[in-house]
Amino acid sequence: MNKILPFFFVLLIFSSCKNEPKDIPVEIVDNQEIKEEKNIEILFDEVKFSDPKMLDLLYELKICDPNQKDLNNAVQPACNPKYFHVLPFIENEKIENAFILVIRSGVHDWPLRRALVYQREQGKLVLVNTFVAHLIGMRKSPSGHDDLVLQFFDEYENRLQCLYKWKENRYQYVCVEKIEGSNIKKELQDSMNVEIAKVIRDNKMAL
């Protein structure tokens, strides 16, 4: 059985009370945007990239081996959608200028899935953010940069669903929305935001 961090105890007690629903409503910023969320499930089961430019981006990043024929070699991976997935994150921007690269677990001998945010500056691709997490949702934002819903896993394998927004030319942490699929009591939201931010920072899951 997975252990639960001490600061989760109160949350779980509230969520398991017989007289209360399992998911307890919580006020989260931008509730209107949550209704417009695009759920994302990346299975790495595509045969080819949806846009040829995505393959060119992998070549440019030199993150894969263009000559690799063995699709079972994740340590020196082929430039193939079996290992990489590319998504846009800026409205009306060309994919070659701004994208999120999701990398399958096991690639380059790295055990966890990663999401890398790239933006082109002065003609060169610049790594803006690195997340050791699953990208599970995107929401339209007035800034034109989609908000990201990321699912992190702590050292005890608890699922931490967090919201990130674009601010000062990069994605920054806003709050934790759910833990193990359960919403958070309103009165606990602020303290949980701080605790989860510390977990992510201490484990270097967002850079």
From first to last of the 207 residues of the chain, give the pLDDT tens digit: 344 444 443 343 333 333 333 343 333 444 344 547 889 999 999 999 999 999 999 999 999 999 999 999 999 999 999 999 999 999 999 999 999 999 999 999 999 999 999 999 999 999 999 999 999 999 999 999 999 999 999 989 999 999 999 999 999 999 999 999 999 999 999 999 999 999 999 999 999
Backbone angles phi, psi at 99, to 5 degrees: -160, 165
pLDDT for residue 37: 82
Q: Residue type for 72, please?
A: N
Cα 96 to Cα 88, 103, 169: the distances in Å are 9, 17, 17
pLDDT for residue 36: 74
DSSP tag of 145: B
The helix (run of H) or strand (run of E) holding residue 113 is none
- The pTM of this model reads 0.82
pLDDT for residue 56: 97
147-199: pLDDT as tens digits: 999 999 998 999 999 999 999 999 999 999 999 999 999 999 999 999 999 99
> At CB < 8 A and 24+ separation, what contacts does 154-160 make?
154/5, 154/199, 154/203, 155/203, 156/2, 156/3, 156/4, 156/5, 157/2, 158/2, 158/4, 158/5, 158/8, 160/196, 160/199, 160/200
Kindly give the residue spans of alpha helices, DSSP state H, lying in the chain: 9-16, 31-34, 52-61, 189-202
Query: Any bridge partners for residue 121, and if so which?
Result: 124
Nearest of 129, 195, 151, 149 to residue 28 by alpha carbon: 149
Strands 124-131 and 134-139, by their bridges, are unpaired
Given a contact cutoff of 8 angstroms between Cβ atoms, the answer to whether 163 and 172 are in contact is no
